[in-house]
Amino acid sequence: MRLVIGNKNYSSWSLRPWLLLEHFAIPFEEVRIPLYQPGSREEILRHSPSGHVPVLIDGETVVWDSLAICEYAAEMPAARGAWPADRVARARARSIAAEMHSGFTALRHTMQMNVRARGRRVPVTADVADDVTRIQSIWASCRASAASDGAWLFGAFTIADAMFAPVAFRFQTYGVACEGLAASYLHTLLEHPAMQRWAADAADEREVIASSEVGQ
């Protein structure tokens, strides 16, 4: 099984399924294609019908889109806990994962993922502030409900945590302050061993995507 990803420093979509597979110790070969380089699109198209990363290749099966890959992995025996067992918790986890997948556009565009950068500052518009507030509200409310079950949004690590993982790097890069349960959850994400390996690999990359080097 192969997972084709982009630059670890910049590709938030690649991080999500990579982290899920790593967390559940599902074996895979990592194929990294630096983005926005000469020949990048042609190389990606060799693996992905959409022309985007990430893409999972499992024998004759090709799965593209981060959430679709996570759902595919969730059906593997090793990742049976990728969604909460409780029906109500599972519905909530799917709801916030879908919200992260399709929403928070102001945050995405303004605070682009740049794992190795620190101390970046960008204009915080009302829309960005609303996104930050909503994310921290999700984190705090989920952690309050699962406080006795573990350190993740629903106690144990799930796809919902993988979907929010890039936000942790964004908050770190742009100095977004969190408090209380949201702060402790941010720390939990950043301290995950796989997240730290991803960050170390991102620091070693030499490619620079100028459009993602935002902030002062």
Which portions of the chain are predicted below pLDDT 50?
none
Q: What is the dihedral of CA 43, 44, 46, 47, to 10 degrees?
A: 140
The 10s digit of each residue's pLDDT in 75-106 is: 999 999 999 999 999 999 999 999 999 999 99
pLDDT of residue 3: 98
Single pTM value for the model: 0.97
Tell me the three state secondary structure of residue 201: helix
CATH number of 2-79: 3.40.30.10
How confident is the model at residue 150, as a pLDDT?
Answer: 96
Task: Produce one character per residue of 69-98: b if its CB has 16 or more CB atoms within 10 Å, e if not.
Answer: bbbbbbeeeebebbbbeeeebeebbbebbe
Q: What is the predicted pLDDT for the residue at 193?
A: 98
Question: What CATH number has the domain spanning 80-199?
Answer: 1.20.1050.10
**Where do the structural domains in the chain lie, given as residue ranges?**
2-79, 80-199
pLDDT at 216: 81
